[in-house]
A and B are shown apart, each in its own frame.
Chain A
Amino acid sequence: MRKSTAIVASLVAASSLAVALRIGELSTLNAIEVPIPGPTGSSLGPTPGVSPTPEVTQPSTQSPVAPQPTQAPVVTTFESDVISYKYGDVQISLTKTDGLISAVNVLIGDATNGRDEAYLILIAATIEAQGTNYGNVSGATFTTDAFKLAVENVLAKF
Chain B
Amino acid sequence: MKSIQPGVLLGTAKRLRIQRRSEALQLLGIATVLLPVLALLADGGAAGLSSLEQWMSLLNRASALVGTSILLVHLILVARVPWIESVFGLDKLTGAHKRLGKPLLYVLLLHSATSVMQSAQQNGIDLWSSIVNLVAHYPEMLLALVGFLLMIVVTLSSISAARQRISYEFWYLIHLLSYLAVFLAIPHQFAFGSTFLSQPWLSAYFAALYIFTLLNVVWFRSLRPVVLSFTRGFSVGSVESSGNNSVSITIAGTEKGKIKFQSGQFFMVRVMTLEDFWRPHPFSASNSAGEGQLRFTIGSRGDFTERIQRVKPGTKIVLEGPYGVFTEAKRSMPKVTLIAAGIGVAPIRSLARQLAAKPGDLTILYRANTENEAALADELFEISKQRGHAIHLLTGPRDKDVPWLPKQSKSSKPKADFLLLAELAPDILDSDIYICGPAPWTNSLLKTLGKLAIPKSQIHVEEFAW
* Residue ranges of A at the interface with B (Cβ–Cβ < 8 Å): 1-2, 5, 9, 13, 16-17, 20-21, 23-25, 27-29, 31, 45-51, 79, 82, 84, 89, 107
**Alpha-carbon gap, A16 to B30, bound state (A):** 13
Contact B23 A1 (CB under 8 A): yes
How far apart are A118's CB and chain B's nearest CB, in angstroms?
18
Instruction: Closest A residue to B38 by CB, please name it.
Output: A20
The 8 closest A-B pairs by CB, nearest first: A28-B44, A20-B41, A28-B47, A24-B44, A25-B47, A20-B38, A20-B42, A23-B42
Most buried by A among B30, B48, B50: B48
**Alpha-carbon gap, A22 to B27, bound state (A):** 24
Most buried by A among B23, B30, B41: B41
Q: Which residues of the other chain, B, contact A13 by a CB distance below 8 angstroms?
A: 30, 34
Contact B38 A16 (CB under 8 A): yes
Show 6 A/B contacts (Cβ-Cβ < 8 Å), sorted by A. Answer: A2-B23, A17-B38, A17-B41, A24-B41, A25-B48, A27-B44
How far apart are A28's CB and chain B's nearest CB, in angstroms?
4
Q: Which residues of the other chain, B, contact A20 by a CB distance below 8 angstroms?
A: 37-39, 41-42
Contact A46 B48 (CB under 8 A): yes
Q: Which residues of the other chain, A, contact B305 by a CB distance below 8 angstroms?
A: none
Q: Which residues of the other chain, A, contact B49 by a CB distance below 8 angstroms?
A: 48
Q: Which residues of the other chain, B, contact A50 by a CB distance below 8 angstroms?
A: 50
Given contacts A20-B38, A28-B44, contact A49 B122 (CB under 8 A): no
Q: Which residues of the other chain, A, contact B34 by a CB distance below 8 angstroms?
A: 13, 16-17
**Which of B23, B37, B48 is in CB contact (< 8 Å) with A28?**
B48
Q: Which residues of the other chain, B, contact A1 by a CB distance below 8 angstroms?
A: 22-23, 26
B180 near A: Cβ within 8 Å?
Answer: no
**Which of B22, B26, B46, B53 is in CB contact (< 8 Å) with A21?**
B46
Q: Which residues of the other chain, A, contact B23 by a CB distance below 8 angstroms?
A: 1-2, 5
**Alpha-carbon gap, A51 to B53, bound state (A):** 14
Q: Is the interface of B mostly helix, strand, loop or mixed?
A: helix
Contact A9 B123 (CB under 8 A): no
How far apart are A97's CB and chain B's nearest CB, in angstroms?
22
**Alpha-carbon gap, A30 to B38, bound state (A):** 19
Contact B38 A25 (CB under 8 A): no
**Alpha-carbon gap, A47 to B50, bound state (A):** 8
How far apart are B93's CB and chain A's nearest CB, in angstroms?
15
How many pairs of residues, A versus B, come closer than 8 Å at their CB atoms? Answer: 66
Q: Which residues of the other chain, A, contact B27 by a CB distance below 8 angstroms?
A: 5, 9
B43 near A: Cβ within 8 Å?
Answer: yes
How far apart are A64's CB and chain B's nearest CB, in angstroms?
25
Given contacts A1-B23, A16-B38, contact A24 B46 (CB under 8 A): yes
**Alpha-carbon gap, A29 to B49, bound state (A):** 13
Q: Which residues of the other chain, A, contact B41 by a CB distance below 8 angstroms?
A: 17, 20-21, 23-24
Q: Which residues of the other chain, A, contact B19 by a CB distance below 8 angstroms?
A: 2
Q: Which residues of the other chain, A, contact B147 by a CB distance below 8 angstroms?
A: none
**Alpha-carbon gap, A117 to B51, bound state (A):** 26
How far apart are B159's CB and chain A's nearest CB, in angstroms?
26
Contact A25 B50 (CB under 8 A): no
Q: Which residues of the other chain, A, contact B38 by a CB distance below 8 angstroms?
A: 16-17, 20
Q: Which residues of the other chain, B, contact A24 by a CB distance below 8 angstroms?
A: 41-47
Q: Which residues of the other chain, B, contact A23 by a CB distance below 8 angstroms?
A: 41-42
How far apart are A13's CB and chain B's nearest CB, in angstroms?
6
Q: Which residues of the other chain, B, contact A47 by a CB distance below 8 angstroms?
A: 48
Contact A17 B48 (CB under 8 A): no
**Alpha-carbon gap, A50 to B48, bound state (A):** 10
Known A23-B41, A23-B42, A82-B51; 5 more pairs at CB < 8 Å: A13-B34, A20-B39, A24-B46, A24-B47, A27-B44
Using a CB-CB cutoff of 8 Å, which residues 422-449 of chain B contact chain A? Answer: none
Q: Which residues of the other chain, A, contact B47 by a CB distance below 8 angstroms?
A: 21, 24-25, 27-29, 48
Q: Which residues of the other chain, B, contact A17 by a CB distance below 8 angstroms?
A: 34, 37-38, 41
Contact A27 B43 (CB under 8 A): yes
Q: Which residues of the other chain, B, contact A89 by a CB distance below 8 angstroms?
A: 122
**Alpha-carbon gap, A45 to B50, bound state (A):** 13
**Alpha-carbon gap, A24 to B37, bound state (A):** 12
Contact B44 A25 (CB under 8 A): yes
**Which of A2, A5, A48 is in CB contact (< 8 Å) with B50?**
A48
Instruction: Closest B residue to A89 by CB, please name it.
Output: B122
**Alpha-carbon gap, A16 to B27, bound state (A):** 14
Contact A48 B53 (CB under 8 A): no
Given contacts A16-B38, A17-B41, contact A45 B48 (CB under 8 A): yes
**Alpha-carbon gap, A20 to B26, bound state (A):** 22
How far apart are B54's CB and chain A's nearest CB, in angstroms?
9
Q: Which residues of the other chain, A, contact B123 by a CB distance below 8 angstroms?
A: 84
